[in-house]
């Protein structure tokens, strides 16, 4: 008897999930957020963003060449969000010459490091060590003119609505510092109470208020477990809730700034550069208005991270992939030790419906390939991404490795040299034992090939969703059954998924 099968309205978990393509070509980066809302969505984002592979604080000067370069005639200058006249050439990081004053340009903690509350607190147990990695997270450590930065000090952002309350301003009134008690942002004086008359605020230019608001949203998301303990006039002193840690006046102001100054191309380009530098992104740039799904009017609406599922070519199949200098189509001749701290474009190859991505880490990492293998050094990332299917095992052929080096998967688990789990994307880093990555810079794992197994295909072989006379309940193998007293499981009923 010929069987007819009905199309599934949704792809079932046991069949394999085809995740949607996110904006900015981020692929599956945000897939964990799909269907989440409010606090749950924010925590899902934290799980994605946490532990950024930040550059060393001293390396920020060179990192800015990638993240904050602004074309100016035939030169590249630092993109300064505090001054509209600074013209610091990007290839002269010390800049003893003056623009706004005498300080050159500096690394500005847009969220001052003193706010991270590095002293012991009874409830948090934080110490100075906990300032890292926030201390050099390039998302919020921005290059600015030193004189303007010093005027800002560690004061909160705010708004000066009365020109008579301006104490100092940069050239052309681009950025402003208030007199004590000079903040006009609604709710500020009520929140500050008696301290209002003793306190200044710093107002950035309207052009960059949205940029800074989205940076602040990123910070309290990427560092969700500790954000509730941070101390500043912009944070709620009465609560250590990591979900929405801002004081109400500051929260309302930042939400307004994000709407009044939408995401710009400058932010998009900077976000992409930072992803290459430290391996995470600012989702509030990738998704304009994301803050509404976390804290605002849409917090009860399930978040859709991508929209329609893209056509990603052939489905992934079981295969064996050789990994060497030819895999990625890169000519390594004469330069097999590709040690380059500031060009972080991943190497990508594809075979049998599986993408293989080899990415740099930061500080002491290298990329290496020869005719027999590739090497995974400290903080390098090796990713396998399956099209239209899920990977269930990856067997590594490892000719050699340092005794204290092991493959560390971000999901699933290792059994010897074999990874087991079920995921459309699997990422691997490697361990190192020293607290100083440079001390283990030459230690690595050699990988010659991988044998990849993907999930078995389902029993559904054809689709027919137009024959309405064949209504009923079916197993996923297509067998029609009586729907009385169904046991727990997944079924297809009248063309729709049914989970018991």
Phi/psi of residue 415, nearest 5 degrees: -125, 95
**Rg of the chain in Å (alpha carbons):** 26
**Whether residue 430 has pLDDT greater than 50:** yes
CA nearest 457: which of 305, 349, 353? Answer: 353
Q: How far apart are CA 189 and CA 184, in angstroms?
A: 8
CA distance 217 to 285: 10
**Which residue has 């301006």 as its token pair?**
166
- Name the β-bridge partners of 279: none
On the question of pLDDT at 413 being above 70, the answer is yes
Structure tokens at 30: 């945000």
Per cent of the chain over pLDDT 90 is: 47
Distance between CA 333 and CA 401 in Å, rounded? Answer: 23
Rounded CA gap, 126 and 377, in Å?
31
Query: Does pLDDT of 340 surpass 60?
Result: no
Tokens for 39, please give them.
Answer: 């606090």
CA-to-CA distance for 272 and 143, rounded, in angstroms? 17
pLDDT confidence band for 311 (50 / 70 / 90) = very low
Which of the two residues, 492 and 322, has the higher pLDDT score?
Answer: 322
Q: Is the pLDDT reported for residue 461 higher than 60?
A: no
Residue entry with tokens 């200044």: 200
**What's the average model confidence in pLDDT over 48-58?**
90
Please give the pLDDT value at position 313.
58
Dist. CA 94–CA 332, nearest whole Å: 34
pLDDT digits (tens, 9 = 90+) for 140-181: 999 999 999 999 999 999 999 999 999 999 999 999 999 999
pLDDT grade, residue 465 (50/70/90)?
Answer: very low
Contacts of 415 (CB under 8 A, 6+ apart): none
* pLDDT tier at 401, thresholds 50, 70, 90: confident
Diameter over CA atoms, the chain: 88
> Is cis: bond before 133, omega within 30 of 0?
yes
Pick the residue with more confidence: 11 or 151? 151
If pLDDT is split at 50, 70 and 90, which confidence band does 102 have? low
Average pLDDT of the residues in 349-353: 86
As beta bridge partners, residue 480 has 474
The pLDDT tens digits for 211-243 are: 999 999 999 999 999 999 999 999 998 888 899
- Report whether 196 contacts 158 (CB < 8 A): no
259-263, 372-376, 467-471, range with the lowest pLDDT:
467-471
Window from 135-149, 150-164, 269-283, 424-438 with minimum mean pLDDT: 424-438
User: Which pLDDT belongs to residue 119?
Assistant: 56
pLDDT at residue 384 tops 90: yes
What's the token pair of residue 150? 């010093």
pTM of the predicted model, to two decimals? 0.63
What pLDDT score does 286 carry?
A: 93
Burial class (CB in 10 A: 0-12, 13-18, 19+), 427: middle
């Amino acid at each position: 008897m010929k069987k007819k099968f009905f199309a599934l309205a949704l792809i079932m978990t046991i069949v394999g999930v085809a995740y949607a393509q996110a904006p900015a070509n981020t692929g599956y980066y945000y897939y964990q957020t799909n269907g989440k809302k409010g606090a749950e969505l924010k925590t899902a984002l934290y799980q994605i963003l946490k532990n950024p592979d930040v550059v060393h604080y001293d390396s920020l000067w060179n990192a800015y060449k990638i993240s904050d370069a602004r074309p100016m005639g035939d030169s590249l200058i630092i993109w300064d969000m505090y001054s509209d006249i600074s013209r610091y050439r990007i290839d002269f990081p010390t800049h003893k010459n003056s623009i706004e004053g005498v300080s050159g340009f500096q690394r500005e903690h847009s969220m001052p490091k003193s706010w991270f509350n590095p002293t012991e607190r009874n409830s948090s147990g934080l110490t100075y060590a906990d300032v890292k990695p926030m201390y050099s997270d390039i998302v919020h450590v921005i290059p600015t003119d030193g004189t303007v930065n010093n005027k800002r000090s560690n004061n909160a952002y705010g708004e000066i609505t009365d020109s008579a309350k301006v104490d100092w301003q940069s050239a052309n009134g681009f950025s402003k510092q208030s007199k004590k008690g000079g903040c006009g942002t609604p709710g500020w004086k009520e929140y500050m109470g008696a301290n209002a008359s003793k306190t200044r605020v710093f107002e950035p230019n309207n052009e960059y208020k949205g940029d800074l608001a989205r940076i602040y949203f990123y910070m309290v998301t990427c560092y969700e477990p500790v954000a509730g303990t941070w101390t500043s006039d912009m944070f709620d002193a009465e609560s250590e809730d990591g979900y929405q840690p801002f004081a109400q006046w500051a929260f309302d102001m930042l939400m307004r700034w994000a709407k009044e100054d939408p995401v710009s191309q400058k932010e998009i380009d900077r976000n992409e550069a930072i992803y290459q530098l430290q391996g995470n992104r600012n989702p509030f740039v990738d998704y304009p208005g994301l803050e509404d799904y976390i804290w605002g009017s849409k917090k009860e609406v399930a978040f859709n991270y991508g929209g329609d599922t893209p056509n990603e070519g052939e489905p992934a199949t079981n295969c064996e992939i050789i990994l060497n200098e030819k895999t990625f189509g890169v000519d390594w001749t004469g330069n097999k030790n590709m040690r380059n701290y500031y060009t972080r474009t991943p190497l990508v190859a594809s075979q049998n419906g599986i993408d293989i991505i080899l990415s740099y880490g930061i500080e002491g990492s290298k990329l290496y390939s020869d005719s027999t293998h590739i090497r995974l050094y400290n903080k390098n990332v090796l990713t396998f991404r399956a099209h239209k299917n899920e990977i269930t095992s990856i067997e590594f052929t490892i000719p050699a490795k340092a005794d204290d080096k092991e493959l560390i998967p971000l999901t699933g688990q290792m059994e010897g040299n074999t990874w087991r789990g079920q995921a459309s994307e699997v990422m691997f880093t490697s361990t190192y034992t020293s607290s100083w990555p440079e001390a283990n810079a030459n230690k690595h794992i050699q990988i010659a090939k991988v044998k990849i197994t993907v999930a078995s295909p389902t029993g559904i072989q054809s689709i027919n969703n137009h024959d309405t006379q064949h209504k009923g309940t079916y197993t996923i193998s297509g067998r029609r059954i009586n729907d009385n007293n169904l046991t727990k499981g997944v079924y297809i009923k009248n063309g729709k998924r049914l989970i018991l």
